[in-house]
Chain A
Amino acid sequence: MNIFVVMKRTFDTEEKVEIKDGRVDEEGAEFVINPYDEYAIEEAIVLKEANDGEVTVVTVGDEEAEKELRTALAMGADKAVLLDTEDLDDEVDHYTISEMLAAYFKNQEFDIILGGNVAVDDGAGQVAPRLAELLDINQLTTITKLDIDGTKATVERDVEGDVEVVETELPLLVTCQQGLNEPRYPSLPGIMKAKKKPLETLDLDDLDLDEDELEAKTKTVDRFLPPEKQAGKKLDGEPAEQVEELIKLLRTEAKVI
């Protein structure tokens, strides 16, 4: 079985965000595998263990993303591929990224592609469904359970809290939701093995792409921080007194009840 994971290197979710010169300041920040992509990597490894086959993790980015690719290899993926954005303009968007991924996948044989349902930095969740469309394969997003039997996939999806049980055929792209599995930590032997596993870097030439075809379809005009929230009032007294004060404030000051 040919199993692929599309993943993204993101800001650690506990990092504080600062804006500098219209951009999010990445100086000194911790980076991690996008948490939702960790579910995808874990599920891919579970699939491989159950069905035989090979897990390839693919990311679009610069050489810094090699660290996160190595982490995925240490978790148990077999191969890693970096689609290098070095030749591109600063402003890339979901169109750019998905076209690069599609160019890569057009030369691969795949049964299933897994990704996170959203990246916690940008929060758009566009790339995976765009990729499925460009490859003309079916997609199931926000999955919480995956069973594959031959070419048949039975999947549970989280649809705003309800569970949808669906069936479809491979090839398929899925995006993973929390609750799907518990991602493993890389083991020490895993980390040692990962150093020797193949990590391939492909640039635009290798993908037979031209910079002009990849120009972003959207542009960012501004980035800014929300107004700082002022700490409010701590209410005094016994529980009953605090509650009484709260109700009064919600009615007269906040006017929400």
Chain B
Amino acid sequence: MSKNVLVLAESKDGELRNVSFEVIAAGKKIAGEGSVKALLVGESVASFSEQLIQQGADEVLVAEHSDLKTYTTDAYKQVLLQVIESESPDALLIPHTSSGKDLAPRLAAKLSSGLVSDVVDIEEVGEEVIFTRPIYSGKAFEKKSVSSGLVFATVRPNNIAALEVDSSRSGETKEVSVDLKDLRTVIKDIVKKTSGKVDLAEAKVIVAGGRGVKSADGFKPLEELADILGGAVGASRGACDAEYCDYSLQIGQTGKVVTPELYIAVGISGAIQHLAGMSNSKVIVAINKDEEAPIFDVADYGLVGDLFDILPILTEEFKKVKAGA
């Protein structure tokens, strides 16, 4: 009943992403008497070590190199393979993020290993680790296990709760020497479109707009509301197809699948395609002038009326709530 678990921490824009703490918590669920080691990869990331330990890591491994500043498949794969070789973990958990999705299947192929992707829950049944993951974009779920060898999974952000910060915890931080060669991808530029904005996948609150928003300008009141709530703006396929906003904001079976605590659907009718991407949100609020819109079938709270009347009032009221809190 004990496993040594290796988890990959992830940082972005000079901060650890919350999913780093969630993979540690996920690792704890299966480690038993074993340990959870967190791996930090980047150019200058050693300073994050203490935070990882306070959130439950027993030991932190740090792999630093100027070629690790931005994720590339080749460089990160080489680091992970070197660490797996030296640490021989029983289980490996990687965030199901843009880089994790790119990296994990490659590692699995190299190691001839099974991999369970996009895990939202983990349980240990006897010696076996059972992962729950959504299929058909959350219209259904499956429970899977890795048949033998390395227990390997990617963990969806925002689903497994991080542990409480415990500042009394201590643990070792170890530097890992990295040897990188034959890097085939050259990064020329990164165009930041999301600076200062909350990432959709990790957002606790999402305000999403559909065709009812009517124009790119129509998204402004949604952005304002999202800002007040510290949340992110999303969109339905209809709104993206109509070019009211970028496809990177699309939520649905094609697009992103999200599970925030609060989802506010504005002018979204609620096609199956869209519901697949958001129906597992904890609380859903729908604002639509069509009383019969299918979005009301999944909404916890429905407001029937013109969104352009309702949104400004809602934003003002939330402002008061936030000011008073």
Binding site for B on A (CB under 8 A): 11, 13-17, 19, 24, 35-36, 93-95, 98, 120-134, 138-142, 144, 154, 158-169, 177-179, 216-226, 229, 231-235, 239-240, 242-244, 246-247, 249-251, 254, 256-257
Contact = CB atoms under 8 A, between A and B. Distances in A.
B140 A14 contact: no
Interface residues of B, number: 98
Contacts of A178: 240, 247, 250, 254-255
Interface string B129-141: 0100111111111
B108 A160 contact: no
B135 A24 contact: yes
B254 A35 contact: yes
Contacts of B138: 226
Nearest to B315: A243
B141 A158 contact: no
A120 B140 contact: no
A130 B106 contact: yes
B282 interface: yes
Nearest to A217: B114
B146 to A, nearest CB: 5
Shortest Cβ-Cβ A-B pairs, 5 listed:
A217-B114, A133-B109, A232-B300, A124-B117, A129-B105
Contacts of B143: 220-224
A138 B74 contact: yes
B256 to A, nearest CB: 9
B317 A243 contact: yes
B300 A129 contact: no
Interface in B212-268: 229, 240, 246-250, 252-255, 257, 261-262
Interface in B262-280: 262, 271-273, 276, 279-280
28 contacts: A16-B272, A24-B135, A98-B109, A124-B105, A124-B115, A124-B118, A129-B109, A132-B106, A134-B109, A142-B102, A154-B188, A163-B191, A163-B193, A164-B70, A164-B190, A165-B188, A166-B186, A178-B254, A217-B149, A218-B116, A222-B143, A226-B280, A231-B298, A233-B300, A243-B317, A249-B301, A250-B283, A254-B262
Contacts of A132: 106
B90 interface: no
A234 B146 contact: no
Nearest to B260: A256
Interface of B: 70, 73-74, 97-99, 101-106, 108-110, 112-118, 130, 133-149, 184-194, 197, 199-201, 229, 240, 246-250, 252-255, 257, 261-262, 271-273, 276, 279-280, 282-285, 291, 296-306, 309-310, 313-314, 317-318, 321
Contact of A93 (B102, B114, B304): B114
Nearest to B253: A13
A179 B109 contact: no
Contacts of B250: 178
A165 B108 contact: no
B147 A129 contact: no
A22 to B, nearest CB: 9
Contacts of A95: 108-109, 112-114
